[in-house]
């Protein structure tokens, strides 16, 4: 899969041109279980504190999320082959 280009020059919430690309750890909690994604790239606005996560960052968050892991860990239903 080709990597998408995702650049933001203006904050979508307040319209500020001060939004900047950042890199840092992101932490989430699901049913009391905390998980962390290290070195996540996102955009942060210093004026309104909005954070915008590009598609690649969202994929990393989903991969680390226990909620997402539980959704994808469903048993595979096998179908008998026809003769």
Taking the model in full, what pTM does it have? 0.71
Q: What is the mean pLDDT of residues 52-67?
A: 93
Mean pLDDT of the region 24-43 = 94
pLDDT of residue 72: 53
* 21 contacts: CB under 8 Å, gap ≥ 6: 8, 41, 42, 43
For the chain, what's the residue count? 83
User: Could you tell me the pLDDT band of residue 69, with boundaries at 50, 70 and 90?
Assistant: confident
């Amino acid at each position: 899969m080709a990597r998408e280009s995702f650049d933001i020059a203006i904050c979508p919430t307040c319209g500020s041109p001060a939004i900047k690309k950042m890199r840092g750890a992101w932490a989430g909690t699901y049913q009391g279980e905390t998980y962390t994604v290290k070195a996540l790239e996102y955009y942060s606005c210093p004026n309104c504190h909005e954070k915008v996560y590009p598609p690649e960052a969202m994929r990393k968050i989903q991969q680390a999320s226990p909620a997402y892991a539980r959704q994808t860990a469903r048993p595979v239903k096998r179908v008998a082959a026809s003769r």
